[in-house]
Amino acid sequence: MSRPSPKIVVEGVGKSFSSARGGQVDALAMVDMTVATGEFVSIIGPSGCGKSTLLNIIAGFEQASAGRVLVDSAPVTGPGPERGVVFQEYALFPWLTVADNIRFGPASMGLPRAEIAARVESCIALVHLIGAENRYPHELSGGMRQRCALARCIANDPDVLLMDEPLAALDALTRSTLQDELQSIWREASRQKPKTVVYVTHAIDEALYLSDRVILMSERPGSVRKEIPVPFSRPRAPEVRTDHEFHRLADQIWFLLRQDARASARSRKENA
């Protein structure tokens, strides 16, 4: 069976910043990766390796210092409606209700009123917020806020969902529950049109549970250390986490992270 066509292509991407001391910080170096149409890919790596920077470059919020990013073969030069972003901090408008937060994007696009109403209703049902339509963000739990943020993103009907540690601020039980809900939401949202997901996380088990493929990045300057295919069929149940292969892959990722951390520590000591 042929592999789906690439939705996202990252070619030789590097990113450098000017430091407060006047020097240069290299955040990314020669990152090459592809994400197929409809694929769910997680990016994992040590703190400071450039995961969020890479996601921001794909989103068009930042420009690469070297290389390029293509979406549907077109260069990314800035944000675009085909790419939706879900942040860790929810990024909801506090003065708008759940329904109005979700309505904001489609209304800004100038869609007909009936279509906007249909999208809002559909997205509220999709993320299980029926009954909370008229609540404000401060009246919601953390999990409900993140579901609202996801619904607001999906309401714009993007082809690509870019998620930057969207569950990191939640308690362990809520996080586990939302991992299952996120899989269901992604599957349902993809029924009409495949949704391609790039998901940044620090959590190895989360990456393995959600993804078709895990991309492991190296210490700064970040580059692709290894790509790890995830072999489990979908839909996935929580019992997958007890599978021997799940633990073997998690141990492999931990080993590579520790290996990189030790090598980086030695390098810093030698250069001190």
Helix (H) or strand (E) holding 176: helix 172-189
Across the beta sheet with 24-36, the strand order is 24-36, 6-18, 66-71, 74-75
pLDDT block averages, 10 residues each, the chain of length 272: 78 89 86 96 93 96 96 95 89 94 95 95 94 96 93 95 92 91 92 94 96 95 95 92 96 91 69 61
Residue 248, Cβ density class (10 Å: 0-12 exposed, 13-18 middle, ≥19 buried): exposed
Are 198 and 163 in contact by the 8 Å Cβ rule? The answer is yes
The predicted pLDDT at position 271 comes to 64
The predicted pLDDT at position 140 comes to 95
Fold type of domain 6-79+200-271: Rossmann fold (3.40.50)
Question: Can you say whether residue 90 is alpha, beta or left, with left for phi > 0 and alpha for psi between -120 and 50 degrees?
Answer: left
